[in-house]
């Protein structure tokens, strides 16, 4: 079997690694001004001011953009582009939304084009985007190593901008930045990363190159997430989950995801729900069906998780979710919707790649059954 592995950014890992940011910025030629895209609560914590002051000492001016919440929307992108005029570099610090915003606007500032110009690969991305440094503070999305970026378009539907031009030039992984993440978010984000690795290692697109990263991500995350949730000051556990998330991001950058992400993206089409929670709920609802395929790849992934075979995975995953404190429920915003609504979203054109990449054929009857299982969960708890 032949395969190729897409480019992986430079990665710097270690507690306190963020302290090297000013020197890293100066290592790029001609950077006199940066746009810092940072989560609002991180900005309010003083981190934006600290980073700006350190960059100022290095002779670099900083414009801060933190006026966003939830998943990126077109309005957020427009505001970030306006804030970043004149910047030579974009630095993203935060969760997947901050990183995706940063990566998209680095292209749009360079080209002068609207994000919609690039949505769903409508037009080629600019060959010379602004330089990008990405610093994840949640261990989940893997956006720091990915060429895929998600935002909600003018009608609220999820859209993608993808291409190597959106990738970071440098990734800084500092587990100390994840320490303040609440236990539920640590669990939700960690499970998202785990499912990234699992789906990339087992779907129709998988190959040995991606599995090298995916299997290591499975080992790291299954070995450390419960500790990271229950002992937030354990930097070794935090570091393992953060590194696992990064490796999982490399894996999905090469092979994509599968049915659990079809469900989570479909849920997001109905109402606001944390992506990690939605993906975990979709994964648990489909795993027993999935492992019936009993492929060599599913069994290899199971062994990377520390269990004997694919058949053991459903019980393992459900028990692990219990220990990590995952409540199986949907937000109150889902009360108006039923299984037919979710099934419709699962069949939407934008979600078909995840359906097709699943190792088992996903029939319409399967979609109806999965949608019924997920929408039967309590709402508003």
Task: Calculate the alpha carbon distances from 371 to 122, 156, 235, 288, 300 in Å.
Answer: 31, 21, 38, 15, 28
Do 113 and 256 have their domain in common?
A: no
Q: pLDDT by residue (tens digit) across 262-299?
A: 999 999 989 999 999 999 999 999 999 999 999 999 99
With residue 171 as reference, give the H or E element that holds it. Answer: strand 170-173
pLDDT at 153 over 80: yes
Q: Spell out the alpha helix ranges (H) of the chain.
A: 21-26, 40-44, 47-57, 74-83, 96-111, 183-202, 208-230, 235-255, 259-270, 275-291, 296-304, 313-323, 339-346, 352-357, 364-375
Do 45 and 90 have their domain in common?
A: yes
Q: Considering the domain boundaries, does residue 2 fall inside one?
A: no
User: Which CATH number covers residue 322?
Assistant: 1.20.1090.10
Do 157 and 198 have their domain in common?
A: no
Do 204 and 189 have their domain in common?
A: yes
Do 58 and 192 have their domain in common?
A: no
Q: Considering the domain boundaries, does residue 34 fall inside one?
A: yes
Averaged pLDDT of the chain: 96
Q: Considering the domain boundaries, does residue 273 fall inside one?
A: yes
pLDDT at 322 over 90: yes
Q: Which two tokens stand for residue 185?
A: 């978010």
Do 155 and 197 have their domain in common?
A: no
pLDDT at 251 over 80: yes
Query: Of 225, 213, 240, whose CA–CA distance to 146 is shortest?
Result: 213
Q: Considering the domain boundaries, does residue 3 fall inside one?
A: no
Q: Considering the domain boundaries, does residue 1 fall inside one?
A: no
Q: How many domains does the chain have?
A: 2
Tell me the average pLDDT across 314-329: 98
Domain end call among 145, 177, 209: 177
* Long-range Cβ pairs for the range 45-49 (8 Å, 24+): 45/180, 47/93, 48/93
pLDDT at 381 over 80: no
By the 8 A CB rule, do 346 and 367 touch?
Answer: yes
Q: What is the DSSP letter of 73?
A: B
Q: pLDDT by residue (tens digit) across 173-229?
A: 999 999 989 999 999 999 999 999 999 999 999 999 999 999 999 999 999 999 999
Do 158 and 112 have their domain in common?
A: yes
Tell me the average pLDDT across 162-181: 96
By the 8 A CB rule, do 215 and 201 touch?
Answer: yes
Do 92 and 206 have their domain in common?
A: no
Q: Considering the domain boundaries, does residue 5 fall inside one?
A: no
Maximal CA-CA distance, the chain: 61
Do 306 and 343 have their domain in common?
A: yes
Domain end call among 177, 208, 243: 177
Do 141 and 47 have their domain in common?
A: yes
Domain end call among 177, 212, 239: 177
By the 8 A CB rule, do 263 and 346 touch?
Answer: yes
Do 171 and 241 have their domain in common?
A: no
User: Which CATH number covers residue 22?
Assistant: 3.40.50.1970
Q: Considering the domain boundaries, does residue 322 fall inside one?
A: yes
The residue range of the domain holding 332 is 183-376
Do 122 and 209 have their domain in common?
A: no
């Amino acid at each position: 079997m032949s395969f190729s592995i897409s480019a992986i950014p430079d990665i710097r890992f270690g507690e306190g690694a963020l302290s090297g940011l000013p020197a890293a910025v100066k290592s790029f030629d001609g950077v006199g001004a940066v746009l810092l895209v940072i989560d609002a609560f991180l900005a309010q914590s003083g981190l934006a001011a600290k980073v700006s002051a350190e960059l100022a000492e290095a002779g670099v001016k900083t414009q801060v953009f933190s006026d966003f919440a939830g998943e990126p929307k077109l309005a957020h992108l427009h505001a970030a582009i306006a804030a970043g005029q004149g910047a030579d570099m974009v630095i993203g610090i935060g969760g997947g939304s901050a990183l995706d915003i940063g990566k998209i606007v680095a292209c749009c500032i360079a080209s002068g084009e609207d994000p919609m110009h690039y949505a769903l690969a409508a037009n080629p991305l600019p060959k010379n985007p602004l330089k990008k440094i990405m610093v994840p503070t949640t261990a989940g999305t893997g956006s720091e190593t990915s060429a895929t970026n998600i935002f909600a378009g003018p009608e609220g539907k999820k859209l993608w901008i993808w291409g190597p031009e959106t990738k970071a030039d440098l990734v800084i992984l500092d587990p100390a930045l994840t320490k303040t993440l609440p236990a539920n978010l640590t669990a939700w984000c960690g499970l998202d990363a785990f499912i990234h690795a699992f789906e990339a290692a087992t779907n129709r697109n998988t190959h040995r190159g991606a599995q090298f990263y995916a299997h290591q991500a499975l080992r790291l995350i299954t070995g450390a997430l419960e500790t990271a949730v229950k002992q937030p000051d354990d930097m070794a556990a935090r570091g393992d989950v953060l590194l696992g998330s990064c490796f999982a991001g490399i894996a999905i950058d090469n092979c994509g995801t599968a049915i659990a992400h079809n469900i989570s993206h479909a849920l997001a089409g109905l109402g606001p729900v944390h992506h990690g929670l939605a993906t975990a709920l979709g994964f648990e609802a489909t795993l027993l069906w999935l492992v019936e395929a009993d492929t060599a790849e599913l069994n290899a992934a199971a062994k990377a998780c520390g269990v004997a075979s694919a058949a053991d995975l459903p019980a393992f995953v459900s028990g692990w979710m219990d220990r990590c404190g995952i409540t199986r429920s949907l937000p109150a915003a889902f009360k108006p919707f039923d299984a037919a609504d979710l099934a419709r979203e699962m069949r939407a054109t934008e979600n078909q790649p995840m359906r097709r990449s699943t190792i088992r054929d996903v029939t319409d009857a399967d979609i109806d059954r999965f949608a019924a299982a997920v929408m039967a969960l309590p709402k508003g708890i």
